[in-house]
Amino acid sequence: MMKARVPEWLNSTLWSSKSPPVDERLHQCSPKSSTPTISAAEPPRVEPPLPQPPPKLIIQEPSTPQMTDPRGDDHRNSPSSLTEDISRQTQLLAELSKKTIDMHELRRLASQGIPDGVGIRPTIWKLLLEYLPNDRGLWASELANKRSQYKNFKEELLVNPSEVTRRIEKSAGIENNESCEGSGLLPRSEITHGEHPLSLGKTSIWNQFFQDTEIIEQIDRDVRRTHPDMHFFSGDSSFANSNQEALRNILILFAKLNPGIRYVQGMNEVLAPLFYVFKNDSDEKNAASAEADAFFCFVELLSGFRDHFCQQLDNSVVGIRSTITKLSQLLKEHDEELWRHLEVTSKVNPQFYAFRWITLLLTQEFNFADSLHIWDTLLSDPEGPQVGAKYLPILFALLVEKRWC
């Protein structure tokens, strides 16, 4: 009996496979908490320059086997493919040059893929995630405000309690020195209950520090495991170490500012593409501020599906099981034969294959370079990277690829 012909929509250059170990979720839930905002006076409107092409980036690919394109290895470099990229690149640059960007048109163009090597992906992703407004005249003030806000977050929330205590003692010591001048007595300051390292009070900075230690240690372990095949994220170089430190800072701040979710294993994989793209911005000033920009875009990205990380909401209409059920229903509508084979004949629970796809936004199913192109499409959806129409071709391709292997 001959096998059915491979569907035409599966013949894409995007499908390659990667299967690293899967981290289990750490479930910690409480009522949601929104990230505080800081308002600032708006400086004069300045038209920012258009993005310039960056130097060629070299991404070390994973050593795991990858699928081959049925149309051949030269398809990506075929004349028709190059012509499409050049045409789309021209249209995207023209849209970005407008004083007020048409977001509907930008999303339409970006959903088809953003050409590599042009240097516009960082700007487009920031627009798609609404980190940048569509009015180019507001970009400079908006970026300055957000980056200043992030700096304040780091100063307030990433300080070791011993440093806080030292500042308090130094301040108290100045007052004591003034009162003890000429008396020959050594200055003395009292440590309040909240400042004592053994205090268990809810307001104690030391008690909070010890509670955060477990999460911080988990973040540190996960950050070190992020894309070990890429020198950008892994290795002993100062560059890799600084990038790991940036990821660590972002995840710790997110956990502190969002006590309803805190940190869940796998968030590092969702953050990595954002930070990588922003750090490789051709604009040196933007690249230097990649940590701050990635933080706010990460918060915005997770706001669309943060309930997937909360165990108490797993069985609710916004929980992960509801989303997986929706995917199963969509699969049944579009490919009932495959759905019946998986869930009726083989009795495969969709959670076994769909959980990681949904929570990690397909970052673990493809090599890193291809996942960036997939994210171009996912982020261009105005409803966010949810399980919907734009998700289906990718997810179905993964399922059908297993059937045809």
Exposed, middle or buried, 296 (CB in 10 Å: 0-12/13-18/19+)?
buried
CATH number of the domain bearing residue 208: 1.10.8.270
- List pLDDT tens digits, range 172-184: 455 555 555 555 5
pLDDT (mean) for 389-405: 61
- Quick one: 317 and 385 in the same domain? yes
Tell me the residue range of the domain where 103 lies.
80-135
- Quick one: 161 and 265 in the same domain? yes
- Quick one: 292 and 382 in the same domain? no
- Quick one: 269 and 288 in the same domain? yes
- List pLDDT tens digits, range 146-176: 999 999 999 999 876 555 555 545 554 555 5
- Quick one: 256 and 325 in the same domain? no
- Quick one: 216 and 285 in the same domain? yes
pLDDT at site 61 = 37
- List pLDDT tens digits, range 329-366: 888 888 888 888 888 888 888 888 778 888 888 888 88
- Quick one: 98 and 145 in the same domain? no
pLDDT at site 237 = 95
Across all residues in the chain, what is the average pLDDT? Answer: 75
- List pLDDT tens digits, range 213-256: 889 999 999 999 999 999 999 999 999 999 999 999 999 999 99
- The answer to the question of residue 11 being in a domain is no
- The answer to the question of residue 30 being in a domain is no
The full 3-state SS of the chain, as one line of letters, equals CCCCCCCHHHCCCCCCCCCCCCCCCCCCCCCCCCCCCCCCCCCCCCCCCCCCCCCCCCCCCCCCCCCCCCCCCCCCCCHHHHHHHHHHHHHHHHHHCCCECCHHHHHHHHCCCCCCCCCCHHHHHHHHCCCCCCEHHHHHHHHHHHHHHHHHHHHHHCCCHHHHHHHHHHHHHHHHHHHHCCCCCCCCCCCCHHHCCCCCCCCCHHHHHHHHHHHHHHHHHHHHCCCCCCCCCCCCCHHHHHHHHHHHHHHHHHHHHCCCCCCCCCHHHHHHHHHHHHHCCCCHHHHHCHHHHHHHHHHHHHHCCHHHHCHHHCCCCCCHHHHHHHHHHHHHHHCHHHHHHHHHHCCCCCHHHHHHHHHCCCCCCCCHHHHHHHHHHHHHCCCCCCCCCCCHHHHHHHHHHHHHC
- Quick one: 330 and 382 in the same domain? yes
> Does residue 69 carry a pLDDT above 50?
no
| Number of domains within the chain | 3
The pTM of this model reads 0.71
Cα separation, 380 vs 104, whole angstroms: 9
> Does residue 186 carry a pLDDT above 90?
no
- Quick one: 236 and 101 in the same domain? no
- Quick one: 129 and 144 in the same domain? no
- Quick one: 324 and 342 in the same domain? yes
- The answer to the question of residue 165 being in a domain is yes
- List pLDDT tens digits, range 99-113: 999 999 999 999 999
